[in-house]
Amino acid sequence: MHISPSMKMSDLVQSDFELLAVLQRLKIPFGFKDKSVKAVCEEQGIDLDFFLNLARWYHERDFFPGETLMNHPVKWLVKYLRSTHSCYIDYHIPRIEHEIIQMETVDQSEGHNMQLMLKFFREYISEFTSHIQLEEEQIFPYILNLEENLQRDQPDPGFLEKARGYTIRDFLEDHSDIEEKLVDLRNILLKYLAPPSDNCLFTNVLIEIFRLGNDLNDHTILEENVLIPQVIRLEEEFHKKFPRK
């Protein structure tokens, strides 16, 4: 299927429900009626090309518009990634944790195994939350300030001092692969933890963890192949425009 600006937004979602994630993270509300993709994006103030590139990537996994996405203002990708963080913290993670607790309640005979599963998951979430907190409190504000100051005739003195002592490469060096650690958690659950008698609940939790892992992999791809190279380019432009005197 070719995704075009003229096709109906409702037809787009009907053709591939995975695209609901893109709409949710760009905060595009439902109730499309018969409006086109272009019309919905214009109404919601969403960059049409940015939306189309993300949608095509979700729909056609062999297509990755890395260079094209880097041509958009970095604020769009930051907005998308921040919304993804909220989805993880406010929905996916609490849901998985609740289902593990539910298994412990339903099957008392497997209580020890479920306690171990909950322990493994919470240890992972602790590290994951720290990673997100770093991005939200330090990395994303730096990136947005960089883009904003680059558009000025004179940069903010406070940011100028920070920019001369910091580079996004520092973040790249410390950028732990959260998705890989989730793979480790899945391996523990699959190989070493005996499932409870209610195997449907256990399988459903594993499915949710696999889905979270796939989503985190997409998240990492966007950060490492679009966001960070784009910020490196902005940093180079910034230091060329505002060299040390």
Query: Given the structure tokens 């380019």, which residue do they identify?
Result: 233
Alpha-carbon gap, residue 245 to 38, rounded angstroms = 47
Residues in the chain: 245
- Whole-angstrom Cα distance, residue 25 to residue 193? 34
Report the pLDDT value the prediction gives residue 11, as an integer from 0 to 100.
95
Radius of gyration of the chain (CA): 21
Q: How many other β-carbons are positioned within 10 Å of the β-carbon of residue 209?
A: 22
**Predicted pLDDT at 111:** 58
**How many Å apart are CA 236 and CA 161, to the nearest integer?**
15
Our CA angle for 142, 224, 91, nearest 5°, is 80
pLDDT reported for residue 239: 93
pTM beyond cutoff 0.75: yes
CA distance 20 to 211: 14
Q: Which amino acid is at 144?
A: L
pLDDT tens track, the chain, 245 positions: 789 999 999 999 999 998 999 999 999 999 999 999 999 999 999 999 999 999 999 888 888 988 899 999 999 999 999 999 999 999 999 999 988 888 777 665 555 677 887 888 888 889 889 889 999 999 999 999 999 999 999 999 999 888 888 889 877 665 556 767 778 888 877 887 776 666 788 888 889 988 998 898 898 889 989 999 999 999 999 999 999 76
Neighbours of 149 (CB within 10 A): 20
CA angle 188, 18, 225 (to 5 degrees): 70
| Beta carbons within 10 angstroms of residue 11's beta carbon | 13
| Nearest-angstrom CA–CA distance, 53 and 70 | 11
Alpha helix positions (H), the chain: 9-15, 20-25, 37-44, 48-59, 66-69, 74-87, 93-106, 111-134, 140-150, 157-163, 168-173, 178-192, 199-222, 228-241
- State whether residue 8 is helix, strand or coil: strand
The per-residue pLDDT for 107 is: 60
- CA distance readout (Å), 66 to 144, 168, 236: 19, 18, 19
